[in-house]
Amino acid sequence: MSPSLPLAPRAPHVVLAAGGTGGHMFPAEALADALLGRGARLTLVTDRRGEAFGGTLGRLETRRILAGGIAGRGLVGRARGAVELGLGLIQALGLLRRLDPDVVVGFGGYASLPPLLAAIRQKRPTVVHEQNALPGRANRMLAPRVSRFAVAFAHGQAPAGITPVWTGMPVRPAVLALRDEPYQPAGADEPFRLLVTGGSQGARVFSTLLPEAIALLPDSQRQRLHLTLQSRPEDLEAAQARVQDLGLAGVELSSFFTDLPRRLAQAHLVVCRSGASTMGELAVLGRPAVLIPYPHAIDDHQTANARGMDEAGGGWLMPQGPLTPQALAERLEALMNAPEALARAARCARAVGVPDAAARLADLVLATARTREIHS
């Protein structure tokens, strides 16, 4: 009798459930890269917006499901959202039966709800990753029922009764590739690169607030300033008009910079919203930032996100409400003339970075997948 060959271990099959904007898709992409590197088989279950996302996720086997929000869209909007969610759940139940994944991972947002609810119903292992320091509605709802609840922020709040696993915020390989670039502060008369970014959708207010603040800087500071300003598409023209006569050393405007990681790495100072990926990227790269949270984010979670960095000394939290162009100009001028303070903040930001967050989350996901026999 010929000796039997040992069976090759089957690659774990992971379903990634994420949709909506970059906020959920970027960390899903970072996890996808880490899981592919560990030999996992991946399927992306997403909504219409997530399907349009490129990069690693764009190359995965993808299934689209219906997903609607049920919060704050008026009675008709909520009713439609609830119907879509119900239909999405029926789709997801059938889809998971066919795909038979070993684990389902969700990133919050309504697109992740149907696949996770279906997985819970079918007693499959599940992992949720919460990107914000205050958990979102979908994740709060799922928290007591999923196998593991991973969080990005060590200082964040977990849903009641949950023991979270702190993995950090998975950031894209394009960011990780730049993490050894040292922060080089600009001397008092040297060119100063200021990067202004409002997250994946841009921030409307930055197109007026920043030009107005920069206009108040002394000539000598404006003449050394290289400004990279992300504006929402509808504000680009007006923002261009506001900055063109300010006598800056250089200006670049766009509604979305595809090379943002490189621009972050090159910035002497960043002015930004405090979305979870932006915070994760600033920390991994170790770049100082003025943090202006989006005041209408659900439960004001961007303020909670920014607080950890502010307290660690890696940035300056400036709430938008009371912020005037004058106050921002004073802060900018002070920082442009304080290379040592900027270098110190860069070090403090780096100290809270978690460059191996995607790896940690990938390991957690695969360990959870191995508990499948216990679940079924």
Residues 16-75 binding ligand UD1 (CB under 6 A) are 21-24, 26
| Of residues 124 and 301, the one with the C-beta less far from ligand UD1 | 301
Q: Residues 204-243 vs ligand UD1: string with x where CB under 6 A?
A: --------------------------x-------------
Residues with Cβ within 8 Å of 35's Cβ and at least 6 positions away in sequence, in order, are 14, 42, 362, 365, 366
b/e code 174-197 from CB counts within 10 Å (16+ = b): bbbebbeeebebbeeeeebbbbbb
Q: Residues 118-137 vs ligand UD1: string with x where CB under 6 A?
A: -------------xx-----
Q: Which of 326, 114, 136, 316 is nearest to 217 (CA)?
A: 326
Residue 197 interacting with ligand UD1 (CB under 6 A): yes
**Between helices 22-37 and 357-369, what is the axis angle to 10°?**
70
Q: What is the closest distance, in whole angstroms, from the C-beta atom of residue 101 to ligand UD1 in the complex? A: 23
CA distance 270 to 226: 12
2 marked among binding-site residues: no
Q: Which stretch binds ligand UD1 (CB under 6 A): 46-54, 91-99, 271-279, 284-292?
A: 271-279
Residue 199 interacting with ligand UD1 (CB under 6 A): yes
Q: What is the closest distance, in whole angstroms, from the C-beta atom of residue 374 to ligand UD1 in the complex? A: 30
CA distance 258 to 15: 27
Residue 257 interacting with ligand UD1 (CB under 6 A): yes
CA distance 154 to 133: 8
Using CB atoms, what's the residue nearest to ligand UD1?
23
CA distance 306 to 273: 9
Q: Residues 274-313 vs ligand UD1: string with x where CB under 6 A?
A: -xxxx--x------------x--x---xx--x--------
Q: φ, ψ for residue 254 (rounded to 5)?
A: -160, 155
Q: What is the closest distance, in whole angstroms, from the C-beta atom of residue 185 to ligand UD1 in the complex? A: 22
Residues with Cβ within 8 Å of 277's Cβ and at least 6 positions away in sequence, in order, are 22, 23, 26, 27, 131, 169, 171, 199, 200
Residue 200 interacting with ligand UD1 (CB under 6 A): yes
Could you tell me if 316 and 291 are in contact, meaning their C-beta atoms sit under 8 angstroms apart?
A: yes
CA distance 17 to 107: 7
Q: Which residues sit in the known binding site for UDP-N-acetyl-alpha-D-glucosamine?
A: 21-23, 132, 172, 200, 302
> Which residues of this protein are in contact with ligand UD1, per CB under 6 A?
21-24, 26, 131-132, 197, 199-201, 230, 256-257, 260, 275-278, 281, 294, 297, 301-302, 305
Q: Which residues are annotated as a binding site?
A: 21-23, 132, 172, 200, 302
